[in-house]
């Protein structure tokens, strides 16, 4: 058994106590520490005798503690008036000092350290923004629907968003500003960001494209198509046969997407998602059939918003073994976000992309490029997470600019050499690069800087 260390000897504390130990009260606070007249031993003896006499006359014994208290009370009564005035003066001085201290504390709380932010409408942002929301079991990503996690951070304004949009749109005029009226048929070669008609197809395609290159994601999609096939006709035509994927062993799914990267993790997430969707589809079908027979409203999610034709369509797809999440069309953005993020491997970014591109609802999806520019433009605090950037921009950015800014930030991040992580500012090569239209607005605080020092001009020797 390990020997316990010996306790260090306590060091007596000398003087300066404002609060006495063991709940014995507080000491009087003196200001000028003017010395009071010392009470003589004879005075103490007289007072002690007086206390004993008073106790005897009352016919009851007095304890040591009560006796000491009585003596202390009488001693305080014999204190000269001049000393009382000095203590009172000290108390008054301490009161003023405390008031000044409280005033300084109040000023430090209300005065914020600001940084310049001069874009269209000059404003100021606090360097250290306090985050409002916290992650909980019911809110694992710490989302703040309807409000920013940084309520004191006022950028970006609608004018600032419009200004950045206009500058980027002028340079990248081929980037679509609005979602298409009709979503194109799903490509069998490119995963994309979920801009396909089927919600489940969009969700898994977006999952495949996360944390890998575009080429890697495309290879994974091709592997799934080759291994499990697509729906050739009828409902869901053109989508991957996700029910075939669900019924196949996990190893087969891993082999199909191994070429793209993160195969084990993504394959397990895909299998778990498909199992959950299948079970939900069965429950929805049973609830709708029960509603037909009893007339009682089905209790499944969003059932009250569906027409009889939409409910019949859901039943038909389930009976044909077509997995579907199309019942999420038309639900509010916040509700759709909750529904998507409950699936394994699906985070805020993936959910936002599906909401924006498939459900065609305004939602500021934040990928690596969006996150980078949001910080360089000082639209969010420097240390904000991607999920916090999403929650903040979801509130601050106008709905009509969310689709366009998302697309423009991605295009600019891919093509502007000065905004790529690989380039180094301050070098000779940097000076030769094409100008960035956002140059005057960006603070690339985390970009690599040149360590080269300017050469000193030669000096002439004195004669």
Q: What is the pLDDT of residues 153-195, one digit of tens each?
A: 999 999 999 999 999 999 999 999 888 888 877 777 777 777 8
CATH number assigned to the domain comprising residue 334: 1.10.340.30
The confidence score (pLDDT) of residue 212 equals 85
Q: Looking at the structure, tell me whether residues 243 and 334 fall in a common domain.
A: yes
Whether 160 and 220 map to the same domain: the answer is no
Domain closes at, from 295, 327, 359: 359
Q: Domain check: are 72 and 190 in the same one?
A: no
Q: Is residue 102 part of a domain?
A: no
Q: How many domains does the chain have?
A: 3
Residue 394's pLDDT band, with cuts at 50, 70 and 90, is: very high
Determine, yes or no, domain membership for 409: no
Within-domain flag for 460: no
* Mean of pLDDT values over 238-261: 93
Both 223 and 325 in a single domain? yes
Domain assignment present for 46: yes
Whether residue 189 sits in one domain with residue 132: no
Say how far apart CA 336 and CA 441 lie, in whole Å: 34
87-132 pLDDT per residue, tens:
445 556 666 666 655 555 544 443 333 334 444 443 455 555 566 5
State whether 343 and 243 are in the same domain: yes
Q: What is the 3-state secondary structure (H, E, C) of 19-65?
A: ECCCCCCECCCCCCCCCCCCCCHHHHHHHHHHHHHHHHHCCCCCCHH
| pLDDT reported for residue 180 | 86
**Are residue 370 and residue 439 in the same domain, yes or no?**
yes
How much is the average pLDDT of 267-287? 97
Evaluate whether residue 423 is within a structural domain: yes
Residue 24 binned pLDDT confidence (cut-offs 50, 70, 90): very low
132 and 192 belong to one structural domain: no
Q: What is the mean pLDDT of the chain?
A: 78
For 151, the domain range is: 113-175+366-402+414-444
Give the pLDDT confidence score for residue 337 in this predicted structure. 95
In the chain, what percentage of residues exceed pLDDT 70?
68
Q: Report how far residue 144's alpha carbon sits from residue 393's, in angstroms, rounded to the nearest whole number.
A: 11
Question: Are 193 and 331 members of one domain?
Answer: yes
| Phi/psi at 276 (5° precision) | -65, -45
- Give the residue-averaged pLDDT of 346-373: 95
Same-domain check for residues 263 and 293 = yes
Instruction: Decide if pLDDT at 428 tops 70.
Output: yes
| pTM score of the predicted model | 0.69
Residue 451 pLDDT = 67
User: Which long-range contacts does 380-389 make (Cβ < 8 Å, 24+ apart)?
Assistant: 380/150, 380/153, 381/125, 381/128, 381/129, 381/150, 381/153, 382/445, 382/446, 384/129, 384/149, 384/150, 386/348, 386/349, 387/141, 387/142, 387/143, 387/347, 387/348, 388/131, 388/142, 388/149, 388/150
Same domain membership, residue 207 and residue 294: yes
My answer on whether 171 and 191 are in the same domain is no
């Amino acid at each position: 058994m390990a020997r316990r260390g010996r306790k260090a000897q306590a060091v007596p504390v000398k003087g300066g106590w404002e609060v006495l130990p063991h709940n014995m009260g507080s000491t009087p606070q003196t200001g000028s520490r003017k010395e009071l007249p010392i009470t003589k031993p004879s005075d103490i003896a007289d007072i002690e005798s007086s206390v004993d006499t008073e106790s005897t006359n009352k016919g009851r014994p007095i304890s040591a503690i009560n006796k000491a208290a009585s003596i202390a009370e009488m001693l305080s009564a014999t204190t000269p008036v001049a000393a009382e005035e000095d203590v009172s003066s000290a108390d008054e001085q301490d009161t003023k000092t405390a008031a000044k201290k409280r005033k300084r504390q109040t000023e430090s709380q209300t005065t914020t350290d600001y940084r310049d932010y001069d874009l269209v409408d000059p404003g100021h942002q606090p360097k250290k923004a306090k985050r409002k929301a916290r992650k909980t079991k019911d809110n694992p990503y710490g989302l703040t629907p309807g409000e920013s996690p940084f309520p004191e951070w006022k950028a970006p304004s609608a004018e600032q968003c419009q200004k950045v949009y206009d500058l980027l749109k002028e340079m990248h005029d081929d980037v679509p500003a609005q979602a298409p009226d009709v979503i194109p048929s799903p490509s069998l070669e490119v995963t994309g960001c979920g801009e396909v008609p089927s919600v489940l197809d969009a969700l898994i395609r977006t999952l495949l494209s996360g944390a890998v290159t575009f080429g890697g994601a495309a290879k994974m999609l091709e592997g799934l198509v080759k291994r499990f096939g697509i729906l050739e006709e009828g409902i869901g035509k053109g989508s991957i046969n996700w029910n075939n994927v669900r019924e196949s062993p996990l190893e087969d799914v891993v082999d199909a997407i191994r070429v793209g990267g993160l195969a084990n993790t993504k394959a397990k997430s895909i299998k778990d998602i498909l199992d959950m969707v299948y079970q939900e589809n069965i429950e929805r079908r049973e609830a709708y059939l029960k509603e037909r027979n009893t007339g009682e409203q089905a209790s499944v999610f969003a059932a009250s918003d569906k027409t009889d034709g939409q409910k019949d369509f859901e039943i038909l797809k389930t009976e044909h073994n077509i997995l579907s999440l199309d019942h999420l069309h038309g639900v509010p953005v916040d509700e759709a976000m909750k529904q998507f993020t409950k699936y394994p491997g699906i985070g805020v970014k993936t959910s936002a992309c599906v909401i924006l591109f498939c459900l065609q609802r305004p939602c500021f999806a934040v990928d690596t490029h969006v996150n980078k520019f949001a910080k360089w433009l000082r639209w969010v605090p420097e240390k904000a997470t991607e999920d916090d950037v999403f929650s903040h921009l979801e509130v601050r950015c106008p709905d009509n600019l969310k689709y366009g800014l998302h697309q423009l930030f991605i295009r600019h991040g891919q093509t502007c050499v000065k905004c790529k992580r690989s380039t180094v500012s301050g070098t000779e090569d940097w000076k030769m690069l094409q100008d960035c239209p956002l140059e005057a607005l960006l603070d690339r605080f985390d970009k690599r800087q040149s360590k080269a020092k300017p050469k000193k001009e030669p000096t002439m020797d004195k004669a």
